[in-house]
Amino acid sequence: MTNLDLFGETASATPNADPELDRVLALRALLHSYAHQYYVLDAPVVPDAEYDRLFQELQALEFTHPDWASVDSPTQRVGGKPLAQFAPVRHAVPMLSIRTQTDAQASGALNFDTRIRKELGLHENHPPVEYVAELKFDGLAMNLRYERGVLVQAATRGDGETGEDVTQNIRTIGQIPLKLLQDVPPVLEVRGEVYMRRDDFEALNERQRLRIAHGDKGAKTFVNPRNAAAGAVRQLDSAIAADRPLSFFAYGLGEVNWLQELGPVFGTHYDLLQTLKSWGFPVADQVEIAQGAPDLVAYYERIGALRDQLPFDIDGVVYKVNRLSLQQQLGYVSREPRWAVAHKYPAQEQFTTVLGIEVQVGRTGKLTPVAKLAPVFVGGVTVTNATLHNEDEARRKDVRVGDTVVVRRAGDVIPEVVSVVLGKRQLGSLEFSMPRRCPVCGSAAVREEDEADYRCTGGLFCSAQRKQAILHFAQRRAVEVEGLGDKLVDQLVDAGIVKTLPDLYRLGLVALAALDRMAEKSAQNLLEALQNSKQTTLPRFLFGLGIRHVGEATAKALARHFGTLDAVMAASLEQLLAVTDVGPIVAQSILTFFDQAHNREVVAQLRACGVVWEEGEPAAQATSVLAGKTFVLTGTFATLARDEAKDLLESAGAKVAGSVSKKTDYVVAGADAGGKLIKAQELGVPVLDEAAMLALLQGERDGGA
């Protein structure tokens, strides 16, 4: 005879008959409570290690006493034996579908409200109908059956009349309670959606890619979160389902047998949702009461704007008449409730054909393969191009010219190819291969170690990078050409007036004054700014060249170490690696830049145009105790501008970072210092004022620290 019946209740009326049994019951209750706090309320009350310790203790006790087995035990979430097939489940209350409003505009909400008011016999002078507006999840509908508060069955929608028993798989979902902690009806069916969060989906696909890379022939990646969730729910082996991170939202009821003393505790759908939440079920936060059509329209537009920021996929919103008595009055038609509608957004995924694959060059030289598509309307716009991101991604998805593909566009995100429909692939199609030369300028395309992207090495020579190169060169921290901004650079490049950096110094007054919104006075001011910029420094010039990975600090370190530009340009990889803070990636980037003849030609022409700087002997190896130390500056200083303080520190061999971390050696705080000062105090980083920093620097100059 067992001590526990099917629902985990003690058969014996004698309390404390067995201390171990009492411990089992206590552990189950405690772990159910912790799981509710973690999965439903998103407010864990114990560390994961403590939960794991209690879970393992319960597992050990149940293993020792197998006759104490109970379907409501938290240990049942880990999955059972594989099933031969799913058993059919006939729903006590049919799982009806909701009519879809295909008008993906605000007018869809107006049409629904008009129909409801007509069905209820309401006129213009009657008050607005009260609705509940909810999200339409892109997942799998599920019916959860509880008897005496214990989950005994989970079934899919199926055809609405009969679904499949997927109880073993649903037990693995942490958000679904195995035992309800509140008083509930003896029979309670809760309906909702099983789905997969986007971050969980990406993590799952990353694990699948690793398995594929390690030779697991049974592993595959998934097209989208909905397919991954549906596949997990319909796994015959629940251990596989347990490995896939599923979530759940509740939104309605099926069969309910109320106790006389309990009775229905709600008169509106909104109250029903709040009751489900109080019983321990997760309910989406984006549920709102709407008064009439204007509120429905506002909800549709607001959620549409937030759609891409949600952590899960939705394909629309749902409107329901709030008062249950009105729902009953409205009734059903063609097995659909009259009192509800699903208002969809424009589709974010569609099928189309790949007409070609081109490689585009970005402003920083990044080479991106782009699929040229047969026009398709997706996400509210007509799409003809979709990014393939990089060579690895294009090969992983194996996108080829002529393929039928799934294209996704979410909000303002650049459209992308999600997957290929392999069954429609043409015979003889060729794999994509990234060109090893820039398609714009013909320069070598290189892929640095541990990077996914190929980049054009053309730099200053490549027209695709021209505007960005000019703006970078002219910025305040580089050679500084005052008045040379984005719009002017656009005009100069688009008109073909400036093709390389030296062309800036060949500009004439007539050509400038002819530009849109460029009067003669403005043109003269720009020419003067260009003339002034010719007198610069070696660190500023090196930084202005836009060499990948070479920031201001690295440019200063190179100038100090080598003394002259020619020495930097002639340096070997080993010589570059000897520079403070120059590692293999930065050294290779510098070497690659100056190996390009066109980059060396640009430097020569800039010199010929009169761009000059002071040069000197290489600096002696730094013996300063500040060499390599990391400083962070914050607040306003009394005698120095922030840039001046930065220059002083870097000239002493120190590094100046933008944020505080455990690796920061000093924080220099001036007036009105904010979060960086607080962070330093929290981490115990030494804090100096301006005077202390200057004293430290003076000590360096005097030979002491």
Does residue 331 fall inside a structural domain? Answer: yes
CB atoms within 10 A of CB 5: 12
Stretch among 41-55, 261-275, 326-340, 601-615 having the lowest mean pLDDT: 41-55
20: which residues sit within 8 A by CB, 6+ positions away?
Answer: 61, 64, 65
Strands 455-456 and 445-446: antiparallel
CATH number of the structural domain spanning residue 568: 1.10.150.20
Strands 655-657 and 630-634: parallel
Stretch among 7-16, 28-37, 468-477, 588-597 having the lowest mean pLDDT: 7-16
Q: Tell me the per-residue pLDDT of 171-195, one tens digit each, with 9 for 90 and over.
A: 989 889 998 877 889 999 999 999 9
Token pair for residue 563?
């003394």
- DSSP assignment string, 505-517: GG--HHHHHTSTT
pLDDT of residue 410: 62
pLDDT of residue 3: 35
Does residue 8 fall inside a structural domain? Answer: no
Q: Which residues make beta-bridge pairs with 337? A: 332
Does residue 41 fall inside a structural domain? Answer: yes
Token pair for residue 548?
């990948």
Stretch among 9-18, 271-280, 371-380 having the lowest mean pLDDT: 9-18
- What range does the domain containing 64 cover? 19-78
Burial readout 26-35 (b: 16 or more C-beta within 10 A, e: otherwise): ebbeebbebb
Q: Tell me the per-residue pLDDT of 535-578, one tens digit each, with 9 for 90 and over.
A: 999 999 999 998 888 988 889 889 989 999 999 999 999 999 98
Q: Tell me the per-residue pLDDT of 276-305, one tens digit each, with 9 for 90 and over.
A: 999 999 999 999 999 999 999 999 999 988
Q: Does 12 have pLDDT greater than 60?
A: no
> Residue 84, Cα to own-chain centre: how many angstroms?
38
Does residue 590 fall inside a structural domain? Answer: yes
pLDDT of residue 15: 54
Q: Does 704 have pLDDT greater than 60?
A: no
Same domain, 237 and 314: yes
* CA separation for the pair 45, 268 (Å, rounded): 33
Q: Taking CA 321 as the corner, what is the angle to CA 318 and CA 325, rounded to the nearest 5 degrees?
A: 145
7: which residues sit within 8 A by CB, 6+ positions away?
Answer: 70, 71, 72, 147, 148, 149, 150
Q: C-alpha distances in angstroms, 368 versus 78, 360, 437, 452, 589?
A: 43, 5, 13, 11, 20
What pTM does this model have?
0.51
Q: Does 414 have pLDDT greater than 50?
A: yes
Does residue 150 fall inside a structural domain? Answer: yes
Contact assessment for residue 479 and residue 566, using Cβ atoms and an 8 Å cutoff: no
Does residue 187 fall inside a structural domain? Answer: yes
Same domain, 340 and 363: no
CATH number of the structural domain spanning residue 661: 3.40.50.10190
Q: Which of 584, 616, 648 lies at the terminal end of a domain, its last residue?
A: 616
Same domain, 568 and 494: yes
* CA separation for the pair 66, 546 (Å, rounded): 69
Q: Which of 325, 344, 363 lies at the terminal end of a domain, its last residue?
A: 344
Q: Tell me the per-residue pLDDT of 444-469, one tens digit each, with 9 for 90 and over.
A: 998 877 778 898 988 767 878 888 88
pLDDT of residue 4: 33
Same domain, 242 and 131: yes
Same domain, 552 and 696: no
Q: Does 166 have pLDDT greater than 50?
A: yes
Structural domains of the chain, count: 5
**Residue 109 parent element (H or E):** helix 107-119
Contact assessment for residue 290 and residue 317, using Cβ atoms and an 8 Å cutoff: no
SS (H, E, C) 15-37: CCCCHHHHHHHHHHHHHHHHHHH
Same domain, 147 and 280: yes
pLDDT of residue 38: 57
Same domain, 145 and 272: yes
Q: Which of 572, 588, 616 lies at the terminal end of a domain, its last residue?
A: 616
Same domain, 489 and 596: yes
* CA separation for the pair 462, 499 (Å, rounded): 9
Higher per-residue confidence, 38 vs 59:
59
Same domain, 680 and 696: yes
Q: C-alpha distances in angstroms, 59 versus 176, 180, 238, 599?
A: 20, 21, 18, 67
Q: How many CA atoms lie within 13 A of 284 on its CB side?
A: 28
- Residues noted as catalytic: 136
Same domain, 638 and 610: no
Q: How many CA atoms lie within 13 A of 609 on its CB side?
A: 21
Does residue 447 fall inside a structural domain? Answer: no
CATH number of the structural domain spanning residue 359: 2.40.50.140
pLDDT of residue 138: 86
**Tokens 């509608």 appear where?**
341
385: which residues sit within 8 A by CB, 6+ positions away?
Answer: 370, 371, 372, 373, 415
Q: Tell me the per-residue pLDDT of 101-153, one tens digit each, with 9 for 90 and over.
A: 867 777 889 999 999 999 999 998 999 999 999 999 988 899 999 998 999 99
* CA separation for the pair 537, 535 (Å, rounded): 7
526: which residues sit within 8 A by CB, 6+ positions away?
Answer: 481, 483, 484, 488, 507, 512
The SS3 of residue 375 is strand
Same domain, 353 and 221: no
Model confidence at 6, pLDDT cuts 50, 70, 90, reads: very low
**Residue 274 parent element (H or E):** helix 269-278
* CA separation for the pair 512, 215 (Å, rounded): 62
Q: Tell me the per-residue pLDDT of 651-675, one tens digit each, with 9 for 90 and over.
A: 777 888 888 888 899 999 988 787 7
Same domain, 205 and 319: yes
CB atoms within 10 A of CB 620: 7
Does residue 566 fall inside a structural domain? Answer: yes
